Amino acid sequence: MNEKIQASTVRVFIALAPPDEAKEELAQALRPAYDAYPTMRWNRIEDWHITLAFLGEVPTATIPLLREPLARLAETRPPLRLALRGAGCFDERVLWSGIDGDLEGLHLLAADVRAVVKDCGIPFEDRPLRPHLTLARSRRDDPAGVVRVAAGLTAFTGRPWDAERLHLVGSNFGRGPGPIRYRDVDAWDFTGGR
């Protein structure tokens, strides 16, 4: 998906995306929470992702530097077997679903992705990986909603699925008021072991 990038900078991250079936399974489990907390700032299901490296705002000229090394990395990797499991919150403000499955492989992939970014000379904040999908953020007038929804999802266990593609995602397309929208700048299949 080689999208043309119009702005002089773009907010970028590298991620995995669950397949639609896995996202829909979690969305079904969230239906009561959607109804109970309609004013919570819910992320769009099509934007759910597992961030491996968040680069932040970078010049658009940086994007071509990443394409070839990320493509080569994806060629060496088999798909990862993962699942969505449980829920929690960061700072009682951010609701997330946890990740289960081949967590060792996920951490190794994230380390290799971050090494690619560093080798390309792109500075970024290299925080420890905490695999999750961000689902929603609380409104200031109801910060306890996130905690209640997380408690209701602790027993959620999704079916296993294969993460089959590495995504380079831009998150500031269509700048302006309203929610942030994500779009693949590029994506590569994991073809190692095939």
Q: Nearest Cα to 170, choosing from 156, 186, 190?
A: 186
Stretch (H or E) spanning 15: strand 9-16
C-alpha to C-alpha distance for 51 and 168, rounded to whole angstroms? 10
35: tokens are 């109804």
Distances in Å between the alpha carbon of 56 and those of 33, 44, 114, 126?
30, 20, 13, 11
Q: Nearest Cα to 1, choosing from 190, 185, 191?
A: 185
Catalytic residue set = 49, 132
Q: Kindly provide the b/e burial profile for residues 158-169, where b requires at least 16 CB atoms within 10 angstroms of the residue's own CB.
A: beebbbbbbbbb
CA atoms within 13 A on the CB side of 107: 9
Q: Nearest Cα to 164, choosing from 16, 14, 47?
A: 16
